[in-house]
Amino acid sequence: MPKGKNDRTKWGLPKGTVAKTLRSMIKPGLGDDELDAIAVVLFSHLMIEQHLDRLFYFIMSHDLNRFKLTSVRDAKKPIPELETEREEKLWDRISNMSFGNKVNLLDPVMSIYDDTLASSLREIGTVRNKIMHDEPWQKIAFKGESIWTEGGVEEFFMGAQSCAGCIDKVHEMLSETRELRENWGKRLQELGESLY
């Protein structure tokens, strides 16, 4: 049976293989193994960035709504609505920052837990950037292993998992410190003293 109009998308691509057809047009010679490696790199990078975003937000949002509402604009809004607006604006700013800026700004805090974490994160970011900016593929490596090999992609993923775990440990450490500070602040307040 001849292929008809119903076998094509509105742009004329064969139905059922649109992504594969486009992939072969964009990057001829890219096979399934390379595509899987790219997916691992991109999703691992995204996972780490989400951990960084949560850590950054945790650090920045703590005192966000303790500031006095003094502006005319602030006075016209109910406090819960204003707090939500500030939190959303903070989250938008954080999520729109570049990966490198997040790592650079969080480096001093993260180095308390692991002084090599930021450099590992930068290496992960570099691999992602090389893929996205079409560096010669054969030269892209992580920890000395080509990411186009099973060992290399596994090394990349395990490195990303390790970084995400370290970021979570930093978050946990800061959370415990904040909790201690708040508890001591309450206790000192009960005694009529000030924490600061």
Domain locations along the chain: 1-30, 32-190
Give the C-alpha separation, 119 to 116, whole Å: 5
pLDDT of residue 27: 77
Helices (H), 62-196: 72-75, 79-95, 99-110, 117-132, 150-190
Query: Tens digits of per-residue pLDDT, 17-45?
Result: 888 887 777 777 778 888 889 999 999 99
Closest CA relative to residue 117, chosen from 51, 55, 171, 164: 164
Closest CA relative to residue 88, chosen from 69, 61, 108: 61
pLDDT lower than 50: segments of the chain? 1-2, 72
Give the C-alpha separation, 193 to 196, whole Å: 9
pLDDT of residue 121: 95
pLDDT of residue 1: 39
pLDDT of residue 11: 86
pLDDT of residue 99: 95
Cβ atoms within 10 A of the Cβ of 141, count? 17
pLDDT of residue 29: 77
Phi, psi of 99 (to 5 degrees): -55, -45
Please give the helix or strand (H or E) that residue 39 lies within, else none. Answer: helix 32-61
Query: Tens digits of per-residue pLDDT, 182-191?
Result: 888 888 888 8
Cβ atoms within 10 A of the Cβ of 103, count? 23
